[in-house]
Amino acid sequence: GSPTSDGRFLTFVDWSTGDLAIRDLTSGTNRRLTNKGSWLDSSEYAEVSVISRDGKQIAYAWFNKDFFYELRTIGIDGSGPRVVYRNREVEYLQPAAWTPDGKHVLVTTARKDGSNQIVFISLGDGSARVLKTLDWRWPDKLSLSPDGRYVVYDFPPQEEKPERDIFLLATDGSLE
């Protein structure tokens, strides 16, 4: 999960049900944001989540009933849940950051063909704009600069080595 910028809330997965939940760090209370039922009712579940910069929305990965991941959003109060991005060619996805204007989410995707991509998903129309296609290796860390102009990510320079290099990628595609 992720914390709000003011440090009051923290998102997480309630693994007793698979629901996306939020913890109020001031009061110490937890509240589920989704309500899919028990594991007997549904094998769907939430995974990685990231809170918008204004602290009002959460983007999260959801493993759906069709056995692949989609990107969803929901209000921090549990209102307005919706599926933003759904693509059967994407087996897994991980949201990393919201753009400063709140119109896109930076996501890493793992595709059926074995490649991975760094993409922006539009919250308006659900379209995906690919910033970088990678081989089978996956960035462990992915972040967006405060002004939204750059993505920083780590990546192993050699296939069999644990070392990782750090890359800076312009979001307009002009340089890496």
Asked whether the predicted pLDDT for residue 58 surpasses 90, the reply is yes
Cβ atoms of residues 76 and 56 within 8 Å = yes
Q: What is the pLDDT of residues 103-152, one digit of tens each?
A: 999 999 999 999 999 999 999 999 999 999 999 988 989 999 999 999 99
Sign of torsion over alpha carbons 86, 89, 91, 93: negative
What pTM, to 2 d.p., does this model score? Answer: 0.93
Asked whether the predicted pLDDT for residue 41 surpasses 90, the reply is yes
Q: What is the pLDDT of residues 70-83, one digit of tens each?
A: 999 999 999 999 99
Asked whether the predicted pLDDT for residue 61 surpasses 90, the reply is yes
| For the chain, percent of residues with pLDDT exceeding 90 | 89
Question: What's the chain's average pLDDT?
Answer: 95
Q: Are strands 116-122 and 45-51 parallel, antiparallel or unpaired?
A: unpaired
Length reported for the chain: 176
